[in-house]
Amino acid sequence: MQLGGPSTVLRCFIASRLAAPAAQDDIGNRGDRVNRVRKLFQRLKIEHRCGLIAYITCGDGPTIEIIRALEDAGADAIELGVPFSDPIADGPVIQAAAMRALKNGTKISDIFTIARAVRERSEIPLIAFSYLNPVLRHGIETFADDARAAGIDSVLLTDLPAEAAAEVKPAFRKRQLGSIFLLAPTSSDVRIAAVDRASDDFIYYVSTMGVTGARSELDPALLTRLDEVRAQVRKPLAVGFGISKHEHFELLKDRCDAIVVGSAIVRAVADGDAAGAPERAGTVVRGIAGR
Protein backbone atom coordinates (compact mmCIF):
# COMPACT_ATOMS: atom_id res chain seq x y z
CA MET A 1 0.00 0.00 0.00
CA GLN A 2 1.34 3.39 -0.91
CA LEU A 3 0.76 5.54 2.12
CA GLY A 4 1.84 8.92 3.29
CA GLY A 5 0.75 12.48 3.88
CA PRO A 6 -1.75 13.78 6.41
CA SER A 7 -4.84 11.67 7.02
CA THR A 8 -8.12 13.37 6.14
CA VAL A 9 -10.11 10.45 7.59
CA LEU A 10 -8.87 11.14 11.11
CA ARG A 11 -9.79 14.81 10.82
CA CYS A 12 -13.30 13.86 9.64
CA PHE A 13 -13.63 11.48 12.58
CA ILE A 14 -12.70 14.18 15.08
CA ALA A 15 -15.21 16.54 13.49
CA SER A 16 -17.96 13.91 13.65
CA ARG A 17 -17.21 13.26 17.31
CA LEU A 18 -17.56 16.94 18.12
CA ALA A 19 -20.86 17.16 16.26
CA ALA A 20 -22.36 13.89 17.51
CA PRO A 21 -24.44 13.46 20.66
CA ALA A 22 -22.92 11.50 23.51
CA ALA A 23 -23.23 7.77 22.90
CA GLN A 24 -25.55 5.95 25.28
CA ASP A 25 -23.49 2.80 25.18
CA ASP A 26 -19.93 2.00 24.14
CA ILE A 27 -20.92 -0.55 21.51
CA GLY A 28 -17.39 -1.21 20.25
CA ASN A 29 -15.99 -2.08 23.68
CA ARG A 30 -18.66 -4.42 25.01
CA GLY A 31 -17.36 -7.59 26.54
CA ASP A 32 -20.07 -9.76 24.95
CA ARG A 33 -18.80 -9.43 21.37
CA VAL A 34 -20.78 -11.38 18.81
CA ASN A 35 -20.27 -11.73 15.12
CA ARG A 36 -22.86 -9.42 13.61
CA VAL A 37 -22.33 -10.82 10.11
CA ARG A 38 -23.32 -14.31 11.18
CA LYS A 39 -26.32 -12.96 13.06
CA LEU A 40 -27.36 -11.01 9.96
CA PHE A 41 -27.53 -14.11 7.79
CA GLN A 42 -29.46 -15.94 10.48
CA ARG A 43 -31.97 -13.09 10.54
CA LEU A 44 -32.21 -12.96 6.74
CA LYS A 45 -33.07 -16.66 6.72
CA ILE A 46 -35.80 -16.18 9.31
CA GLU A 47 -37.18 -13.18 7.42
CA HIS A 48 -37.03 -15.02 4.07
CA ARG A 49 -35.35 -12.13 2.31
CA CYS A 50 -32.18 -11.36 0.37
CA GLY A 51 -29.82 -8.93 2.09
CA LEU A 52 -27.86 -6.07 0.57
CA ILE A 53 -24.18 -5.54 1.43
CA ALA A 54 -22.74 -2.16 0.44
CA TYR A 55 -19.07 -1.66 -0.44
CA ILE A 56 -17.29 1.66 0.04
CA THR A 57 -13.66 2.68 -0.46
CA CYS A 58 -12.51 4.13 2.85
CA GLY A 59 -11.08 7.62 2.54
CA ASP A 60 -12.86 8.39 -0.74
CA GLY A 61 -15.30 11.08 0.29
CA PRO A 62 -16.84 11.58 3.76
CA THR A 63 -16.76 7.87 4.56
CA ILE A 64 -18.42 7.92 7.98
CA GLU A 65 -21.36 9.98 6.72
CA ILE A 66 -21.64 7.76 3.62
CA ILE A 67 -21.89 4.64 5.77
CA ARG A 68 -24.63 6.19 7.88
CA ALA A 69 -26.54 7.13 4.74
CA LEU A 70 -26.16 3.61 3.34
CA GLU A 71 -27.54 2.12 6.54
CA ASP A 72 -30.44 4.59 6.56
CA ALA A 73 -31.17 3.58 2.95
CA GLY A 74 -31.46 -0.07 3.97
CA ALA A 75 -28.00 -1.61 3.56
CA ASP A 76 -27.70 -4.67 5.82
CA ALA A 77 -23.89 -4.68 6.10
CA ILE A 78 -20.93 -2.58 5.02
CA GLU A 79 -17.71 -3.68 3.35
CA LEU A 80 -14.91 -1.33 4.39
CA GLY A 81 -12.62 -1.25 1.36
CA VAL A 82 -8.95 -0.75 2.21
CA PRO A 83 -7.40 1.42 -0.55
CA PHE A 84 -4.50 -0.33 -2.25
CA SER A 85 -2.13 0.82 -4.97
CA ASP A 86 -2.43 -2.35 -7.09
CA PRO A 87 -6.09 -3.49 -6.95
CA ILE A 88 -5.87 -6.23 -9.57
CA ALA A 89 -9.44 -7.51 -9.09
CA ASP A 90 -11.04 -4.09 -9.41
CA GLY A 91 -12.24 -2.19 -12.44
CA PRO A 92 -11.60 1.48 -13.23
CA VAL A 93 -14.24 2.90 -10.86
CA ILE A 94 -12.84 1.33 -7.69
CA GLN A 95 -9.25 1.71 -8.91
CA ALA A 96 -9.83 5.46 -9.22
CA ALA A 97 -11.46 5.58 -5.78
CA ALA A 98 -8.45 3.81 -4.25
CA MET A 99 -6.09 6.31 -5.86
CA ARG A 100 -8.14 9.24 -4.55
CA ALA A 101 -8.17 7.77 -1.07
CA LEU A 102 -4.41 7.20 -1.08
CA LYS A 103 -3.87 10.72 -2.38
CA ASN A 104 -5.98 11.94 0.55
CA GLY A 105 -3.46 10.27 2.86
CA THR A 106 -5.67 7.36 3.91
CA LYS A 107 -3.79 4.79 5.98
CA ILE A 108 -4.87 1.35 7.08
CA SER A 109 -5.26 2.68 10.62
CA ASP A 110 -7.94 5.04 9.29
CA ILE A 111 -10.15 2.04 8.50
CA PHE A 112 -10.23 1.27 12.21
CA THR A 113 -10.94 4.92 13.00
CA ILE A 114 -13.93 4.77 10.63
CA ALA A 115 -15.18 1.53 12.20
CA ARG A 116 -14.98 2.99 15.70
CA ALA A 117 -16.98 6.02 14.60
CA VAL A 118 -19.67 3.78 13.09
CA ARG A 119 -19.82 1.67 16.24
CA GLU A 120 -20.68 4.72 18.34
CA ARG A 121 -24.13 4.79 16.75
CA SER A 122 -24.69 1.51 14.96
CA GLU A 123 -24.61 -2.27 15.18
CA ILE A 124 -24.49 -2.72 11.40
CA PRO A 125 -22.14 -5.59 10.45
CA LEU A 126 -18.73 -4.37 9.24
CA ILE A 127 -16.50 -6.40 6.94
CA ALA A 128 -12.90 -5.36 6.29
CA PHE A 129 -12.35 -5.82 2.55
CA SER A 130 -8.70 -5.81 1.54
CA TYR A 131 -5.94 -7.34 -0.49
CA LEU A 132 -3.47 -9.42 1.48
CA ASN A 133 -0.48 -7.11 1.10
CA PRO A 134 -1.74 -4.23 3.30
CA VAL A 135 -2.63 -6.71 6.05
CA LEU A 136 0.80 -8.34 5.89
CA ARG A 137 2.48 -4.95 6.07
CA HIS A 138 0.38 -3.97 9.07
CA GLY A 139 1.07 -7.37 10.65
CA ILE A 140 -1.58 -10.07 10.76
CA GLU A 141 -1.77 -10.22 14.55
CA THR A 142 -1.79 -6.43 14.86
CA PHE A 143 -4.43 -6.13 12.15
CA ALA A 144 -6.62 -8.68 13.92
CA ASP A 145 -6.22 -6.88 17.26
CA ASP A 146 -7.03 -3.51 15.73
CA ALA A 147 -10.01 -4.85 13.77
CA ARG A 148 -11.56 -6.46 16.82
CA ALA A 149 -11.00 -3.38 18.99
CA ALA A 150 -12.63 -1.19 16.33
CA GLY A 151 -15.77 -3.33 16.13
CA ILE A 152 -15.12 -5.02 12.78
CA ASP A 153 -16.78 -8.42 12.50
CA SER A 154 -15.24 -10.20 9.53
CA VAL A 155 -12.40 -9.97 7.02
CA LEU A 156 -12.39 -10.70 3.28
CA LEU A 157 -8.97 -10.80 1.62
CA THR A 158 -9.65 -10.88 -2.10
CA ASP A 159 -6.39 -12.46 -3.23
CA LEU A 160 -6.03 -15.03 -0.45
CA PRO A 161 -7.14 -18.48 -1.65
CA ALA A 162 -8.92 -20.82 0.73
CA GLU A 163 -5.98 -23.21 0.52
CA ALA A 164 -3.84 -20.57 2.25
CA ALA A 165 -6.40 -19.82 4.97
CA ALA A 166 -4.09 -21.13 7.68
CA GLU A 167 -1.93 -18.06 7.07
CA VAL A 168 -4.50 -15.76 8.67
CA LYS A 169 -7.44 -17.71 10.11
CA PRO A 170 -5.89 -18.62 13.47
CA ALA A 171 -5.21 -14.95 14.24
CA PHE A 172 -8.71 -13.96 13.14
CA ARG A 173 -10.47 -16.79 14.95
CA LYS A 174 -8.64 -15.97 18.18
CA ARG A 175 -10.20 -12.47 18.02
CA GLN A 176 -13.66 -13.77 16.96
CA LEU A 177 -13.25 -12.34 13.47
CA GLY A 178 -14.90 -14.24 10.67
CA SER A 179 -13.00 -15.15 7.49
CA ILE A 180 -14.71 -14.90 4.09
CA PHE A 181 -13.45 -16.40 0.83
CA LEU A 182 -14.33 -16.05 -2.85
CA LEU A 183 -15.77 -18.41 -5.42
CA ALA A 184 -15.77 -17.79 -9.16
CA PRO A 185 -17.90 -19.18 -12.01
CA THR A 186 -14.99 -21.44 -12.96
CA SER A 187 -14.44 -22.86 -9.46
CA SER A 188 -14.19 -26.64 -9.42
CA ASP A 189 -16.13 -28.87 -7.05
CA VAL A 190 -12.91 -29.32 -5.06
CA ARG A 191 -12.47 -25.56 -4.75
CA ILE A 192 -16.14 -25.07 -3.82
CA ALA A 193 -15.77 -27.57 -1.00
CA ALA A 194 -12.54 -25.92 0.20
CA VAL A 195 -14.13 -22.45 0.26
CA ASP A 196 -17.19 -23.79 2.06
CA ARG A 197 -14.95 -25.24 4.77
CA ALA A 198 -12.75 -22.15 5.09
CA SER A 199 -15.46 -19.46 5.09
CA ASP A 200 -16.95 -18.68 8.47
CA ASP A 201 -19.86 -16.30 7.86
CA PHE A 202 -20.69 -16.50 4.17
CA ILE A 203 -19.16 -17.20 0.76
CA TYR A 204 -18.65 -14.34 -1.68
CA TYR A 205 -19.59 -15.53 -5.17
CA VAL A 206 -18.11 -13.49 -8.03
CA SER A 207 -20.92 -13.24 -10.59
CA THR A 208 -18.75 -13.10 -13.69
CA MET A 209 -15.19 -13.50 -14.86
CA GLY A 210 -13.29 -10.23 -14.91
CA VAL A 211 -12.88 -7.24 -12.62
CA THR A 212 -15.40 -5.30 -10.56
CA GLY A 213 -17.69 -2.81 -12.27
CA ALA A 214 -21.36 -2.04 -12.76
CA ARG A 215 -22.81 -3.92 -15.72
CA SER A 216 -26.01 -3.41 -17.68
CA GLU A 217 -26.66 -7.14 -17.92
CA LEU A 218 -25.67 -10.08 -15.75
CA ASP A 219 -24.06 -13.22 -17.16
CA PRO A 220 -26.90 -15.35 -18.62
CA ALA A 221 -25.32 -18.47 -17.10
CA LEU A 222 -25.22 -16.98 -13.60
CA LEU A 223 -28.58 -18.21 -12.34
CA THR A 224 -28.00 -21.81 -13.36
CA ARG A 225 -24.50 -21.77 -11.90
CA LEU A 226 -25.76 -20.29 -8.63
CA ASP A 227 -28.26 -23.12 -8.27
CA GLU A 228 -25.45 -25.63 -8.81
CA VAL A 229 -23.17 -23.97 -6.26
CA ARG A 230 -25.87 -23.54 -3.61
CA ALA A 231 -26.55 -27.27 -3.78
CA GLN A 232 -22.92 -27.91 -2.78
CA VAL A 233 -22.38 -25.46 0.08
CA ARG A 234 -23.65 -25.10 3.64
CA LYS A 235 -22.64 -21.48 4.17
CA PRO A 236 -24.76 -18.51 3.04
CA LEU A 237 -23.96 -17.18 -0.42
CA ALA A 238 -23.55 -13.50 -1.32
CA VAL A 239 -23.24 -12.49 -4.98
CA GLY A 240 -21.18 -9.49 -6.11
CA PHE A 241 -19.46 -7.90 -9.14
CA GLY A 242 -21.64 -6.03 -11.61
CA ILE A 243 -24.88 -5.63 -9.64
CA SER A 244 -26.22 -2.14 -10.33
CA LYS A 245 -29.97 -2.31 -11.02
CA HIS A 246 -33.18 -3.26 -9.28
CA GLU A 247 -33.70 -5.80 -12.08
CA HIS A 248 -30.48 -7.52 -11.03
CA PHE A 249 -31.72 -7.73 -7.45
CA GLU A 250 -35.02 -9.20 -8.58
CA LEU A 251 -33.22 -11.86 -10.62
CA LEU A 252 -30.94 -12.86 -7.77
CA LYS A 253 -33.02 -12.48 -4.61
CA ASP A 254 -34.36 -16.04 -4.64
CA ARG A 255 -31.04 -17.63 -5.58
CA CYS A 256 -28.67 -16.18 -2.99
CA ASP A 257 -28.72 -14.91 0.58
CA ALA A 258 -27.37 -11.41 -0.18
CA ILE A 259 -26.14 -9.25 -3.00
CA VAL A 260 -23.07 -7.00 -2.85
CA VAL A 261 -23.19 -3.55 -4.46
CA GLY A 262 -19.86 -1.83 -4.95
CA SER A 263 -18.99 0.05 -8.13
CA ALA A 264 -22.45 1.64 -8.46
CA ILE A 265 -22.05 3.17 -4.99
CA VAL A 266 -18.44 4.20 -5.52
CA ARG A 267 -19.34 5.88 -8.83
CA ALA A 268 -22.16 7.80 -7.14
CA VAL A 269 -19.79 9.00 -4.42
CA ALA A 270 -17.45 10.44 -7.06
CA ASP A 271 -20.22 11.91 -9.21
CA GLY A 272 -20.47 15.34 -7.58
CA ASP A 273 -19.33 17.30 -4.57
CA ALA A 274 -18.35 15.62 -1.30
CA ALA A 275 -21.26 17.13 0.62
CA GLY A 276 -23.78 15.32 -1.57
CA ALA A 277 -21.95 11.97 -1.60
CA PRO A 278 -23.90 10.36 1.28
CA GLU A 279 -27.25 11.17 -0.32
CA ARG A 280 -26.14 9.93 -3.73
CA ALA A 281 -24.84 6.67 -2.23
CA GLY A 282 -28.08 6.12 -0.35
CA THR A 283 -30.09 6.70 -3.51
CA VAL A 284 -28.20 3.87 -5.22
CA VAL A 285 -29.07 1.41 -2.44
CA ARG A 286 -32.72 2.42 -2.37
CA GLY A 287 -32.96 2.10 -6.14
CA ILE A 288 -31.40 -1.35 -6.33
CA ALA A 289 -33.38 -2.71 -3.39
CA GLY A 290 -36.59 -1.11 -4.68
CA ARG A 291 -37.20 0.92 -1.54
Cβ 192 vs Cβ 232: under 8 Å: yes
247 part of the active site? no
- Burial of residue 10 (CB within 10 Å: 0-12, 13-18, 19+) is middle
Clarify whether 79 is annotated catalytic.
Answer: yes
Are 98 and 130 spatial neighbours (Cβ–Cβ below 8 Å)? no
| Per annotation, catalytic residue among 60, 71, 76, 79 | 79
**How does 186-212 read in b/e, with b if 16+ C-beta sit within 10 Å?**
ebeeebbebbbebbbbbbbbbbbeebb
Which is the catalytic residue, given 90, 110, 146, 200? 90
- Look at phi and psi of residue 213 and say left if phi exceeds 0, alpha if psi is from -120 to 50, else beta: left
Residues assigned a catalytic role: 79, 90
